[in-house]
Chain A
Amino acid sequence: MENNNQQPVQQPVQEEKQKTQEELDYEEQLKKRLEELRKRDPFIYK
């Protein structure tokens, strides 16, 4: 017979990896660059 009182198996919690300052800086720079490109609407090639 099935034991309905059984506690669900605890799933290991995946801890989100702490971002390094370098990674955070990178994201900020990339966001800025893409924002700049959206405003400029440049052609890549002449």
Chain B
Amino acid sequence: MNIWGISANSHDAAISVWHDKELQFAGHSERYSGIKNDGDLCEGIIADAKKYGEPDLIVWYEKPWLKTVRQLYAGQGLRAKENNIKQYLSNYNLDKPVVFGKHHESHAAAGYYTSGYKDATVIVIDSIGEFECLTVWEGQGNNLKKVYSQSYPNSIGIWFSAMTQRIGLKPNEEEYILMGMAAYGDPNKYKADIYNDFFKTIDAPVVKFKRNLHRGCPDWRPDLITLQDTYDLAAATQQIYTEILQKLSTWARSKLTSKNLILMGGCALNCVANSEITGDWENVWIMPNPGDAGSSVGAVAAYFGEQVTWPGAYLGTNMGRKYPVEQTIDVLKTNKIVGVASGRAEFGPRALGHRSLLADPRGPEIKDTVNAIKRRQQFRPFAPAILEEHVHDYFDMPKNIDTSPYMQFVARCTRPDEFPAIIHKDGTSRVQTVGKNDSPGFRKLLENWYSETGCPMLLNTSLNIKGMPMVNNLKDAKDFYKKYNVPVLS
């Protein structure tokens, strides 16, 4: 039996395809449509998903009628027609039986049932689905039980997005840029103001707000308008989020029995805050796509209600072809920078070697070179991908974290003078460790690069044209080459 999990009709649409409880495919609609964070399905992703089997059953990631009620309650009008999911799917000729999951349960299940843990505490923090915005779950064997729930409008995610918007960035898209900007600001300058003006209670697990931020807060403190104000606001926001996460983590560790933590929801992409709570736990698992796109996997996992085998993050479009190890090294030696598009695309927001722009991380000039190609703000850092067994030689990893295959944590580099390109303003790097069980091709590339240069890491950033989603297929790779004149090997 083939089951498709779908999250769509909102933002970051995605499909997962399962055959007899085995995850065969998971992809993002944006990579096919070319529209960043595309909320709708498109012909390309459906055609690709069908290569792994026509669906016998579709599991939708949330309850549309409950969402309709919330939207009405929130003042967004009656959207029942727009939330008619059978009709929505019919528009794509997906006239199949549909079952509906729940938004936060899909998040929690995506984390717990892919973790391999026998027990775990699951914390889900996001903006909004139906009504729930923060939930805590206890996983025991195949049982996943909700132990705390906090509802709209008390949403940590909406507050974070409102602050993202307040500093001129796109909410629900550029929160990661706020996180990067934070390192340039003084967190203490406006922290008290933000606490006083927005928060009513922070008494973990309860986090309540003084006002509903669903419409953002563009009027808040109009006097704060300079670039430095923006940095200071970003720093304060990031610090407050970290403090909230720390309180939730401490509460969960003390009240619940498991020593394993699973973080899910869009807020779980905050790698800076994630790194501050690892010491509370023996193990931490964050599924590489913890936001709504990952719920296309989670909805089906919740439907099964049991642990599934996690096949790794390379679940998207298959470009086939052997990983171009030797050619990549040749170009890196001469050109210092090269694109690679090979094998299956990553499922999740991070390029993990299969759709990556790679560079020699040594020396002072490479950051400007990559920035010139990516045409992005100078304050945004680039990440290192490093052979797993060497990570402690170069980085102080967060407590209890030895591997970070999906770039979910930051670590202080202990040899910053040698690798300025991959170090952020605060001295940290968003590390990707590459182990023997991760991508064999990318692993081989790093091994050969190390044996030829003595350097076990490469700068790794996503292969995309500015403002566009990551390269998905050969045509995209050729477009990238035409636009930037940087060779892309596949």
Asked whether A and B interact, the reply is yes
- Residue ranges of A at the interface with B (Cβ–Cβ < 8 Å): 19, 22-23, 26-27, 29-31, 33-34, 37-38, 41-46
How many chain B residues have a CB neighbour from A under 8 Å? 28
Instruction: Write the B215-237 contact mask toward A (1 if CB under 8 angstroms, else 0).
Output: 11011001001110010000000
CB atoms of B11 and A46 under 8 A apart: yes
**Chain A residues whose C-beta falls within 8 Å of the C-beta of B76 in the assembled complex:** 43, 46
CB atoms of A44 and B165 under 8 A apart: yes
Separation of A45 and B39 alpha carbons in the complex (Å): 12
Separation of A42 and B214 alpha carbons in the complex (Å): 8
A-B contact pairs, 5 of them (CB 8 A): A23-B227, A26-B226, A38-B218, A45-B158, A45-B214
Separation of A41 and B74 alpha carbons in the complex (Å): 13
CB atoms of B161 and A31 under 8 A apart: no
Separation of A23 and B231 alpha carbons in the complex (Å): 12
Main SS of the interface on chain B?
loop
Partner of A27 from B71, B127, B158, B226 at Cβ < 8 Å: B226
Which 9 pairs across A and B sit closest by C-beta, in order of nearness?
A: A37-B218, A30-B168, A44-B171, A34-B218, A26-B227, A33-B168, A23-B227, A44-B161, A45-B128
Main SS of the interface on chain A?
helix
Given contacts A26-B226, A44-B158, A45-B172, could you give 19 more A-B pairs where the C-beta distance is less than 8 Å?
A: A30-B167, A30-B225, A30-B230, A33-B168, A37-B165, A37-B216, A38-B219, A41-B215, A42-B216, A43-B76, A43-B214, A44-B161, A44-B172, A45-B11, A45-B128, A45-B171, A46-B11, A46-B39, A46-B76
Chain B: minimal CB distance from A40 (Å)? 9
Chain B: minimal CB distance from A34 (Å)? 5
Closest chain B residue, CB of each to CB of A19: B226
Separation of A11 and B165 alpha carbons in the complex (Å): 40
Report if A45-B127 is in contact (Cβ < 8 Å); known contacts: A27-B225, A30-B225, A30-B230.
Answer: yes
Closest chain A residue, CB of each to CB of B222: A34
**Chain B residues whose C-beta falls within 8 Å of the C-beta of A43 in the assembled complex:** 74, 76, 214-215
Closest chain B residue, CB of each to CB of A36: B218
Chain A: minimal CB distance from B106 (Å)? 16
CB atoms of B162 and A44 under 8 A apart: yes
CB atoms of B214 and A44 under 8 A apart: yes
Closest chain B residue, CB of each to CB of A46: B10
